[in-house]
A and B are shown apart, each in its own frame.
Chain A
Amino acid sequence: MRGQELVKVVDLYKYFPIHTGLLAGLRSRDGPSVKAVDGITFSIRQGEIFGIVGESGCGKTTTGRTIIRLLEPTKGKVYFEDVELTALNKDELKKYRREMQIIFQDPFESLNPKMTIYDLVVEPLDIHGIGQSDSEKRKLVSTALEEVQLAPPEEFLFRYPHELSGGQRQRVAIARALILKPKFVVADEPVSMLDVSIRTEVLNLMLDLKTKLGLTYLFITHDLAIAKYMSNDIGVMYLGKIVEYGDVSEVLDDPDHPYTQALMYAVPVPDVRIKPGVIPITGETPQPINIPKGCRFNPRCPYAFERCFKEEPQLFQVQPGHGAACFLYEEFHSGRLERGKMPMD
């Protein structure tokens, strides 16, 4: 039995306007903008991990931050336990901030170097006015540190971030996020700065904490192998849009969208028995300012046909719970395309 939907994202947009000049800015509000998140819809079930994968600049970090309203969305709605987060005002939102926390990418920069580990971990309690006495707070901090396996906590409480290794620092960041007992955690590339052996330890810790505390994660990563290791469902992002979603094994073992297929051809695996494939696509991802007309993948897609240059494909459900934003499947399922025959033939 799968859990209820905890977080629901509906048609979310986040554009960053580019200010070309004062006059141009005054004259029109619709100047050029970076379309970081360009209409995405998905939901995360209670107790599961939803992975977002994509290459740099595809909008995965912006998605994570917009969902918990660290960035204000341009358009669209986010629901958290049926409450519309995007409609709340600041005071109302603060109540929900406790339930939604974020772990940032770089533990070397996300922790204030002038604060001790105790100060860092107690800060969220102070902000939310939790804990009556110092001894109570101290106890909460110690428990949080123990939970992330920084034990014994007394050894870490009054040290500074620079005295800790990368893996230990990221544990402090996790303790900081978990001390408020959130239900939902956005993890933005939490291990990309860590070495292999330490990376696995942090990933396993996050998995164990998920089970122990009943957490739900949005796990953002550029690394397909890590996405596969961590996620239940994933969404593959390309230029601000989710182009394929579904169960992680289904999507990665049997990708439907030509972009996901290319990723899987290109991804190296630590196994000499698997020979690297030939990548069917060329070129590099365009800038999210000038998104190609029609399907945004069309300049690189080996299968692109007429329709792909005119219309924008929506997510099409290829199998239950597994969809791809590609006209090929729509054409095929509507009988306009014969099996094994590509439209450009």
Chain B
Amino acid sequence: MPPILEVRDLTMYYTTMKGYIKAVEDVNFTLEKGEALGLAGESGCGKTSVALTLLKLLPYNAKIQSGEVLLDGKNILTLSDDEIRKTVRWKRISMVPQAAMNALNPVFKISEQIVEAITSHEQVSEREARDKALELLKKVGIDPSRADHYPHEFSGGMKQRAMIAMALACNPEIIIADEPTTALDVIVQAQVLRVMKKLQKDLGLSMILISHDLSVIAQTCDKSIIMYAGNLAEDASNWELFTHPLHPYALGLIGAFPSAKGERKRLESIKGSPPNLLDPPPGCRFHPRCPYAKEVCKIEVPSLIETHKAHHVSCHMVNSHPKYV
């Protein structure tokens, strides 16, 4: 079966007074139906930019330089804003934005906000839309009797779940969740993630989960992508990625991540800090921080190679760095 979503050679720059910010460069990945894909990386690595591009929700100064986003084989980047709004957003791909807790309008009831989302995209009566809204709230574990409350009467976890309910309003096939649990406490985070995972299974949704938190990704997704400075560093099934990471950045990131369970050992940090994307280093963007970098890394941009089935890495040294020889 062909993938539901395929991103090919996506390059997107932001125009600023100082020049182009090369936020996304040559990103390739696929999303299968019913799959949960993790998009991980540090702040500024371009993960949110990728997500916004998929919906063409970019700010005015963003420019898609090249690439295709194929939804069921059809490139949606060539659609006009109007077509995207009518046929793609909410109906096929919907998004739970970052800091979703502040995305709710404080002066409208929760139910009204979900109803609005439904009636503005589908030809249904107010009554039907309300029934649908209540049903959605039930699905995310909110008692329908709370539907007519205002956002300030909801706790953080409930607001987040209400946002998820809203994202489901028009029965999308793909949900993009941008840092859905970042501001939440650990127990509430686990509750929200469980709701998302359950919905994803029950409704056969495909999901893209964006997070800087590798532990959330490790425990929620089927496969993951690690991004660095606008490039895709590694793309593999979660099992492969977390047990046998290949890209030096992925290796460093996983090695720098503390765990609340298991043995305590000294963590190794990655030296230096991410580059300024106005003027990223030539060659591999990670080379100034990479312990395995050679001359070639400073000159040539590495291409994405498939090392084993469905495990992609963009590193010149992948076959020679000491960890794997």
Q: Enumerate chain A interface residues (CB-CB to B < 8 A).
A: 55-56, 165, 167, 195-201, 203-204, 222-229, 249, 252-253, 262-276, 279, 281-282, 284-285
Contacts and interface: CB of A to CB of B under 8 A. Distances in A.
Interface stretch (B16-24, B90-98, B162-170, B238-246): B238-246
B105 interface: no
Contact of B186 (A55, A204, A274, A282): A55
A201 B215 contact: no
Nearest to B185: A55
B270 A270 contact: no
18 contacts: A55-B187, A56-B185, A165-B273, A167-B273, A201-B271, A224-B260, A225-B258, A228-B264, A264-B260, A264-B261, A266-B187, A268-B190, A268-B215, A268-B219, A269-B215, A269-B259, A270-B242, A271-B242
Given A55-B187, A228-B264, A196 B215 contact: no
B72 interface: no
Contacts of A273: 243
B269 A198 contact: yes
Given A270-B214, A271-B218, A201 B269 contact: yes
B217 to A, nearest CB: 8
Given A55-B187, A270-B215, A200 B260 contact: no
A266 B190 contact: yes
A286 to B, nearest CB: 10
B185 A285 contact: yes
Contacts of A274: 219, 261
A300 B269 CA distance: 38
Contact of A272 (B185, B238, B269, B274): B238
B124 interface: no
Contacts, number: 137
B266 A272 contact: no
Nearest to B216: A268
A224 B188 CA distance: 14
Nearest to B157: A284
B243 A272 contact: yes
A271 B214 CA distance: 9
Q: 8 closest pairs, A vs B, by CB? A: A266-B190, A200-B269, A268-B215, A55-B185, A201-B269, A197-B270, A224-B260, A225-B258
A21 B239 CA distance: 59
Contact of B267 (A203, A249, A262, A276): A203
A56 B213 CA distance: 18
A36 to B, nearest CB: 17
Given A197-B253, A266-B186, 13 more contacts: A55-B187, A195-B274, A196-B42, A201-B271, A222-B185, A224-B186, A225-B215, A264-B260, A268-B189, A269-B260, A271-B218, A276-B193, A284-B187
Nearest to A197: B270
B262 interface: yes
B256 interface: yes
B242 A272 contact: yes
Contacts of A165: 273
Nearest to A54: B185
A282 B252 CA distance: 36
Interface in B190-230: 190-191, 193-194, 212-216, 218-220
B66 interface: no
B108 interface: no
Interface string B118-159: 000000000000000000000000000000000000011100
Contact of B239 (A266, A272, A282): A272
A268 B193 CA distance: 10
Contacts of B52: none
A279 B239 contact: no
A267 B260 contact: yes
Nearest to A193: B43
A282 B187 CA distance: 9
Given A55-B185, A270-B242, A276-B219, A229 B258 contact: yes
A227 B260 CA distance: 8
A276 B190 contact: yes
Contacts of B190: 265-268, 276, 279
A263 B186 contact: yes
B270 A229 contact: no
Given A195-B43, A197-B270, A229-B267, A271 B262 contact: yes
B83 interface: no
Contacts of A269: 215, 218-219, 259-262
